[in-house]
Amino acid sequence: MPFTRPAVALLVFGSWLFVSCGSDDTADSAPSSAERTIEITATEYEFNGDPGVIGPGDTIEFDVENAGEVDHSLEVLSSSGTSLGRTERIAPGASDSVTVTFADAGVYRLICDVDDHLSRGQTASISVG
DSSP per-residue letters across 36-105: EEEEEEEETTEEE-------TT-EEEEEEEE-SSS-B--EEE-TTS-EEEEPPPB-TT-EEEEEEE--SS
Q: Domain residue spans in the chain?
A: 5-128
Query: Which pLDDT belongs to residue 125?
Result: 85
Question: Per-residue pLDDT tens for 17-66?
Answer: 444 444 444 444 455 688 999 999 888 998 788 888 999 999 999 999 99
Q: From 28, 33, 98, select the one nearest 64 (Cα to Cα).
A: 98
Query: Which pLDDT belongs to residue 6?
Result: 35
Question: What amino acid occupies position 30?
Answer: A
Q: What is the pTM of this model?
A: 0.74
CATH class of segment(s) 5-128: mainly beta
- Cα–Cα distance between 26 and 120 in angstroms, integer? 22
Whether residue 92 is predicted with pLDDT greater than 60 in this model: the reply is yes
Phi, psi of 68 (to 5 degrees): -90, -170
Query: Which pLDDT belongs to residue 31?
Result: 53
Question: Per-residue pLDDT tens for 41-54?
Answer: 888 998 788 888 99
